[in-house]
Amino acid sequence: METRPWQLRLLALVTTTTTALLLNPSTSISSSTSTVDDLPALLSFKSLITKDPLGALSSWAINSTSNGSTHGFCSWTGVECSSAHPGHVAALRLQGLGLSGAISPFLGNLSRLRALDLSDNKLEGQIPPSLGNCFALRRLNLSVNSLSGPIPPAMGNLSKLVVLAIGSNNISGTIPPSFADLATVTVFSIVKNHVHGQIPPWLGNLTALNDLNMGRNIMSGHVPPALSKLINLRVLTVAINNLQGLIPPVLFNMSSLEYLNFGSNQLSGSLPQDIGFRLSNLKKFSVFYNKFEGQIPASLSNISSLEHLSLHGNRFRGRIPSNIGQSGRLTVFEVGNNELQATESRDWDFLTSLANCSSLSLVNLQLNNLSGILPNSIGNLSQKLEGLRAGGNQIAGNHTFRYWKAIQPQRTISISE
């Protein structure tokens, strides 16, 4: 097997460091501790960092000890040591520092590590499988980097893991079956990667989950009904994948859901007319750019917490529910690019309802079958409105738009007619 240059550098560094620790009296190690395992791991991490624009690791040096203490690395930037196990690293937090390079596999030797946060950097290479040896790890955040390769199955050994966030990278492959053992995980995010395959039904057994984000990948197949077993789930995002078929009816019984995003897939069918009574805690509901049809459920107006409603890019038909804005909390209302109709003046009553929403910033009605004249109640829409899109309809005249602009001259609004 070919040895890579960084592996040779790393081996030389660890050998030199260990020898120095054993021979230098000022860094002698008590027989009651094993900090020799933690210090080389930290130095190996530094050795693979090629750019440190903020100088965050400038304190990471062997001579940076406190009064000759062997635990001097506990004061290094981003390093937190355990109070229960002196001299052992409990947390390594180096997020948002612009670090470039690779993640050292020797971090897997940090046996007491409970939190590892390297998010929002420029790290490349693969996630080291050796991180699966950090059995005490509870929080792992490697999101917003340039990591690639598959998700290591060995990470399924992290039985105490609570947060697993590896989104916004270039990770590929499938979700490892070994992750079925992550019984304590509450946050699982692989958003914005290149993960493929189907959504594993066994995810429904991870009942501690409250945030499941698999959006912006290339996952295919159907949404498994087993996800309905996640009774604590607040956030479910599978947007921008290649999912198809129906949303399992049992998922509409998940009353704990607050954020539900199925947008930009190939899902079909209709929404249950009683969805507003079954998902009564929703704050955001998005099914944009799918193949849904039927009427927009009037019961959506009964969700008092609803702030964001995105139904655009489907085949919804009929009339827009007249009381859709009665909760007063909507900030985004998008029903454009459907087959919705408005032929009588009362069909525009939903605008009066939307006038109750004082924080409304976007209304998208474009590319439907709306006709007639917009009522003057459009002038009562929120002072925070930034966009009103109504082009691609059969709306007669434009005097209402001019009226609306005239009474709101202080704002810069993008209006399509």
Q: Dump pLDDT digits (tens) for 286-321.
A: 999 999 999 999 999 999 999 999 999 999 999 999
Q: Dump pLDDT digits (tens) for 172-218.
A: 999 999 999 999 999 999 999 999 999 999 999 999 999 999 999 99
Rounded Cα distance, 41 and 217, in Å: 33
Task: Please give the C-alpha separations between residue 376 and each of 18, 36, 356, 401, in angstroms, as whole numbers.
Answer: 79, 75, 15, 9
Tell how strand 100-102 and strand 122-124 pair up. Answer: parallel
Alpha helices, H only, 120-279: 275-278
Paired tokens of 364: 């998208």
Rounded Cα distance, 150 and 126, in Å: 7
Tell how strand 100-102 and strand 49-51 pair up. Answer: antiparallel
Tokens 């954020």 belong to 259
What's the confidence (pLDDT) of residue 414? 55
Q: Domain ranges for the chain, please list them.
A: 271-417
Q: Which parts of the chain have pLDDT scores under 70?
A: 1-36, 63-71, 397-417
What's the confidence (pLDDT) of residue 58? 96
Is the distance from CB of 385 to CB of 362 less than 8 angstroms?
Answer: yes
What's the confidence (pLDDT) of residue 407? 55
Is the distance from CB of 269 to CB of 243 less than 8 angstroms?
Answer: no
pTM value?
0.89
Paired tokens of 193: 């990667």
Task: Please give the C-alpha separations between residue 214 and each of 67, 281, 356, in angstroms, as whole numbers.
Answer: 49, 21, 34
The CATH homologous superfamily to which domain 271-417 belongs is Ribonuclease Inhibitor (3.80.10.10)
What's the confidence (pLDDT) of residue 398? 56
Helix (H, G, I), strand (E, B) or coil at 243: strand
